[in-house]
Amino acid sequence: MRKICTLELFSAKRVGSFRWIREQEVANLVKTLRTAAHQGDVTAGFRTSDLYPSLTFLPALTGFKDKLEKMRLEADSIFDAIIDERRSQRSSMSSSSDGEVVEDYLLDVLLNLHENPSRLELFIAGIETSAKVIEWTMSEMIKHPEVMRKAQTEVREAFGEKGGDVEEASLHRLKYLDNVIKESLRLHPPGPLLLPRENRESVELCGYHVPAKTKVFVNAWTINRDPRYWSEAEAFCPERFDDRVIDYKGNDFQFIPFGAGRRICPGFDFGVEVVKLTLANLIFHFNWKLPGEMRPESLDMTERLGASVGREYALLVIPVPYHEN
C-alpha cells in the first residue's frame, strides 16, 4: 500500500497532475465565501471504547458503531458512483482503441490492481488533517493581526493588487506564508502523537531499557515546543524560520509535524500544497474580522482532544471581499 501511495499518488509528478483540481476546488471555495459575505459528521475523535479495546461490546453500546456504519454507507455510495462512471469510460475507451487503457488517473491504477485480481484497501485521511492545519493557521493569523497583514501584503504583491488569481505554480514565491504555516505546524501538529512504532529487538536508549515488541509513540507536540531548541517556544513567531533552513521532511528532529524517516507521512507534499494554496487564496481575496466587538487577543485557542488535535471551539470569522473595499 505504501509503495502504491508513494509511486502513484504522492510522487512529484502525480501531485503536479492534480494541480488543476486543487485550483478549481479552492476557486469554488472563494466563490462560496464571496457569496456568503453578501448575504460535518464525526470522522475522528476520542471514544471511551478506544481505551478498552478488549471490551468489544462498547462501540455498539454507545451507538458509535451505528454512526460509523451510516458514514461508511454514505461514503460507499459516493465512491461507487465515481467507480461506475470511470469503468464505463474505460469500457468505451477500450472498445474504440486496441483494448488497453492508459493509466491517467489514480483510479485507473487501483481498478487494474483490483482486476488483477489482488486485494487492496486504501485509506486516505489527509482531508481532515489539512482542514485542521488551515483552521489553526487562520486562527493564529487572526489572533496576531501583524502576521496577517504581513502575509496578506506578500500574497497581494505577488499576485496583483487588483484582480488576478493565485496560481499554485507561483506559490514558491511566498516565503513568509511558508514560515507562517511552519510555525502553525510547530505549535499545532495535526497528529500530536505520531503513528506508533514497534521495535523488533531490545535496545538501550538514553538510559532506558526498551524491550522488544514495545509499542512506541513519538510525542511530536512536545518535541516541537522544546525550549532547548526553540526560543520562546510557546509564542507564535513565524520570523523564527527566517534564518533557519528547516523543512517538513523530518531532517530536523526538533520539527517533525509529519514524522521522519521511512515512516514519515507519504502525503505531506500533497497536504502542504493544499494548505498553502487554500490559505493564499483566503488571505488574497478577503480581509477577515471577528464578530461583534471581539478583539483578536481574546480569541480562545483551547485545543480539543482527538485522533488529531482541533480547536475546542469552532473558528467563527467574517470574510470581507478585498477587491470590493
Strands, E assignment, the chain: 197-198, 203-205, 208-210, 215-216, 286-289, 303-304, 310-311, 318-321
Here the cell at position 75 is 461514503
Pairing mode, strands 208-210 and 215-216? unpaired
Residues in contact with 200: Cβ distance below 8 Å, sequence separation at least 6, in sequence order? 212, 213
| CA-based torsion, 169, 170, 172, 177: positive or negative | negative
Compute the distance between CA of residue 156 and CA of residue 324 in angstroms, rounded to an integer.
Answer: 14
DSSP secondary structure of 174-219? -HHHHHHHHHHHHHS-SSSBPPPEE-SS-EEETTEEE-TT-EE--B
Give phi and psi for 297, each to the nearest 5: -65, -15
Give the helix/strand (H/E) hosting 25: helix 19-38
CA neighbor of 125 nearest in space, from 11, 12, 240, 265: 265
265 is in an annotated binding site: yes
| CA-based torsion, 250, 253, 256, 259: positive or negative | positive
User: What burial class does residue 178 get, using C-beta atoms within 10 Å of its C-beta: 0-12 exposed, 13-18 middle, 19+ buried?
Assistant: buried
CA neighbor of 105 nearest in space, from 124, 88, 127, 90: 90
Annotated binding-site ranges for heme = 265
Annotated binding-site ranges = 265
